[in-house]
Structure 1
């Protein structure tokens, strides 16, 4: 009779000597080589309320084929139940990964929403000042792998948006971002209204090119006779005062000095900060130059013959040597219309010999042919002025009473500027009768060097 090595003490099933567990009931029938649960950190059997892990002594062998009755089957011990549960969780995770939705269909794969923070200044309150520590730091939005214990109202709104399909979320994200970009500036309205932001006016296209030639006192008026057939004569033009200094200040600054200034131009000099027509042009990024034949009068002491020297701001400019040059530089500037200044003041040394060649150079230039206006005026009596332009009627004469302040109004109109100083009170521009289409008594733009820009914003 052949005997099996041992029988299970729980169910009397036969088992081999190499087995550690009974195949019939799962009971431990031999010492473990390594306890896997202890290695994973599980407490021992006794801590879970089970029986000790000691293996009972094996009963005596029984004959093969016998049916020795064993004790009733028991439930698995708590340690075995824990191990079985852990195994079920692992198997469930593997099965879920294999059979579940693909990453492209999950919420985690949806396009990331662009979040724009809206910072709203909080009203200062006593409670907030006394308990600054009560404010909690912002918590990052939770993902599927990191649940949030107590989501805020903002989190609920975000979670609701995240629950929409991916295609819808993309559109909503774009619209939301556009709104947020606008909303983030809404709180700056009060700041913009109290401290407006200023930007320099960009350079624009020169609306006209103007040349002014002042004839000094004592000039023979007949030198204009050969040129009168080319332009329009303003026979009613008279000076604002008895001297060149008074008329120069009136023409470029719109102010009429009360001093005579015939013997000394100093009383007619305007202090720094007083605005002139060249200042107006500089403010809108247009250029000007004074072409003075006598080098001793350039950027020197005030001279009645050089109107720009009567304005301290213009005479003391760091770039005076660039803006006040010799008449020999005129030819080079006339060769290129882009280089030709918007306003050119010409002071010849001897008008009797220099005026005709100067007029010929100017009228032959591209800038003059495009939009040029040349005005020859006396800086002292006798009366009369000559206007040359492709738009005037050659040989025309107008006897309307006018003068340097009204001429300044017309020049401001040519450049689209507001009339300067008393020029705004002139009833009409001096050039209106001969250039009706080129001038207007209504200004087309303002003259400050900076413009205030404001942006309409939508509130949240």
Structure 2
């Protein structure tokens, strides 16, 4: 969770006038990306583009060494504030509700009163009804595989009791897992299914799964703990935290991923941030025509989006050391995953532009 800055609120409210989200009409993917068969997504926390990828970045491995190995999306944006609605957007295409904007301090059921285009559940709450689908449901229905890998989660599919306070909002020594950074547990289609215990697992499982192509899921969604994702600084375990901690974590896990048979065969790794710090000038900015949704007038609380975060794409299909100023956001990432596996786009991903030949065409 970030601390919003009230500056720019009036301008953002003015920009909100004009109705529901209307992403570009050319959002339909004009050219399919190459045959990506294994997608890896790593989400870090609460950092804007300049802090992460600028010349004074405290994350030299990410901002320089990894940047030289992949493509930097310099105009990639979060879609909301605070953390949780960004994670939900990445896997379902749902816009924020009032409670998800508050990071769901109480793990309440989402009470829906119908839907509006594009596939938006109207209402408020946290855990969406089973009628609201995710990319994990889509993959499973098509015979593909997925797993969420959550550092410090321990017990698979760990989440608070329904309609009870979320006891993972603050890190504890030995337990820095945050349910709000695990989007899969906010959908009844997953938590009410055996797939949650089988596929929403602790990060330790990833090392084993990466050993062979056949044991690596088609989609691996990876969340570090509250220190290693740059959220906390200092951390409850005494470490400095912030981007320095995230950089050290990436040195371990990115190398494991890129050395795996699945990645080398047909992989794509996307490293991004859920949202920018709203204390920065563009911290609640948006791209791609994002506007008011049915449940919130301002997805970013004080603006239209989650701010400019940037994203890094590594893949055998991507030119090393390249950069791209095409505008993308979390709905674009969902659309990219769905395009890769021939899935119908969910929610706002229907109107988003997935990664195309601008990302993959120069390898």
The answer to which of 308-317 and 326-335 deviates more is 308-317
**1:279 aligned residue (113, 117, 137):** 137
What is the aligned partner in structure 1 of residue 250 from structure 2? 355
Normalised TM-score (structure 1): 0.47
Which structure: greater strand fraction?
2
Residue among 413, 419, 429 paired with 2:354? 429
The residue number in structure 2 matching 1:234 is: 73
- Cα deviation, residue 296, structure 1: 5.8
What is the CA–CA distance in structure 2 between the aligned matches of 1:432 and 1:348, rounded to whole Å?
Answer: 30
Q: Is it true that 1:217 corresponds to 2:46 in the alignment? A: yes
Task: Call closer, same or farther: CA 1:337–1:433 in 2, change over 3 Å.
Answer: same
Aligned partner of 1:330 among 206, 209, 216: 206
Which residue in 2 is equivalent to 1:253? 92
CA distance in 1, matches of 2:362, 2:138: 22
Deviation of 1:329 after TM superposition, in Å, equals 1.3
Q: Deviations over 1:112-135 (max 9, x none)?
A: xxxxxxxxxxxxxxxxxxxxxxxx
Cα shift readout 1:67-108 (whole Å, capped 9, x = no counterpart): xxxxxxxxxxxxxxxxxxxxxxxxxxxxxxxxxxxxxxxxxx
Q: What's the secondary structure of 1:386's corresponding residue? A: strand
Where is the helix percentage greater, Structure 1 or Structure 2? 1
Q: Distance in 2 between matches of 1:342 and 1:437?
A: 24
Equivalent residue, structure 2, for 1:306 = 182
Please tell me whether residue 372 in structure 1 is matched to residue 298 in structure 2. no
Which of 315, 318, 325 is the equivalent residue of 1:389?
315
CA–CA distance in structure 1, aligned partners of residues 196 and 354 of structure 2: 30
Point out which structure has higher relative CO (alpha carbons under 8 A, 6+ apart). Answer: 2
Residues 166-225 of structure 1 show CA distances to partners (whole Å, capped at 9, x for unaligned) of xxxxxxxxxxxxxxxxxxxxxxxxxxxxxxxxxxxxxxxx96100011112259724321
**Structure 1 CA distance, aligned partners of 2:66 and 2:362?**
23
Divergent runs of 4+, >4 A: none
Distance in structure 1 (CA, Å) of the matches to 2:94 and 2:355: 16
Distance 1:380 1:285, change over 3 A: same
Change (3 A) 1:338 1:437: farther
Bigger mean CA deviation after superposition, 246-255 or 310-319: 310-319
Q: Secondary structure of the residue that 2:194 maps to in structure 1?
A: coil
Contact 1:216 1:305 in 2 (8 A): no
* Aligned mates of 1:335, 1:364 — CA distance in 2: 9
CA-CA distance at 1:364 after TM superposition: 0.5
5+ residue gaps, structure 2, are 1-34, 108-124, 161-178, 230-245, 277-307
Cα distance 1:372–1:348, how it changes in 2: closer, same or farther (>3 A)? same
In structure 2, do the counterparts of structure 1 residues 432 and 261 end up closer, same or farther at CA, with 3 Å as the change threshold? farther
Deviation (angstroms), 1:280: 0.5
Name the CA distance, whole Å, in 2 between partners of 1:218 and 1:229: 20
CA contact (8 A) 1:249 1:268 kept: no
DSSP-derived class of the 2:312 partner: strand
Please tell me whether the aligned partners of residues 295 and 326 of structure 1 are also in contact (alpha carbons under 8 angstroms).
yes
Q: How far is the alpha carbon of 1:300 from its aligned partner? A: 2.8
> CA RMSD of the aligned region, Å?
2.3
CA offset digits 1:351-407 (Å, max 9, x no partner)? 423222110001001110110000111111151011000110111111122101111
Shift of 1:324: 1.5
Question: Any idea what SS the aligned residue of 1:304 has?
Answer: helix
Query: Structure 1 residue 421: deviation in Å?
Result: 2.4
Larger radius of gyration: 1
C-alpha deviation, 1:273, in angstroms = 2.4
Whole-angstrom CA distance in 1 between matches of 2:344 and 2:362: 18
Aligned length: 232
The alignment's TM-score, normalised by the length of structure 2, stands at 0.59
Partners of 1:377 and 1:404 lie apart in 2 by 9
